[in-house]
């Protein structure tokens, strides 16, 4: 994985070290597998955009059946440490939005949680 800087790599490795419970550990396993696939594709064709490969490869990397919440954590953490993380975050927010909240999250630098439930009622 190509990190944005040395601190990001240190933070990632520390996160992996302390998150040893099965649920949290699966986030790191999934995120690394996903990044490996995306970086492989980027190495094959440097002109490719994250937005054109992320969805397909997210499913390929998901060999253990992660939850939506785990996926959201993976995106958030990758957006902070990975060299292409910001592009991933922007794509994710636009893919995840129901209205315009993804666009707003992109302006604010936040990441949408895909495990959130939206309930609308008729008034």
pLDDT of 98 over the 80 cut: no
Place of tokens 């992109």: 106
Is residue 95 within 8 A of residue 111, CB to CB? The reply is no
pLDDT reported for residue 94:
74
* Residues 6 or more apart whose Cβ sits within 8 Å of residue 52: none
The length of the chain is 123
Q: What pTM was computed for the model?
A: 0.85
pLDDT of 116 over the 70 cut: no
Residue among 93, 88, 115 nearest 106 (CA): 93
């Amino acid at each position: 994985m190509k990190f944005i800087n040395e601190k990001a790599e240190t933070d990632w490795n520390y996160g992996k070290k302390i998150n040893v419970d099965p649920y949290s550990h699966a986030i790191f396993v999934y995120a690394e597998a996903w990044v490996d696939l995306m970086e492989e594709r980027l190495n094959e064709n440097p002109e490719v955009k994250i937005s054109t490969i992320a969805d397909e490869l997210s499913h390929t990397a998901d060999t253990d059946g992660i939850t939506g919440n785990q996926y959201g954590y993976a995106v958030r953490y990758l957006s902070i440490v990975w060299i292409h993380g910001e592009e991933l975050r922007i794509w994710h927010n636009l893919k995840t939005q129901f209205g315009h909240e993804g666009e707003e999250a992109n302006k604010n630098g936040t990441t949408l949680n895909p495990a959130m439930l939206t309930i609308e009622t008729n008034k």
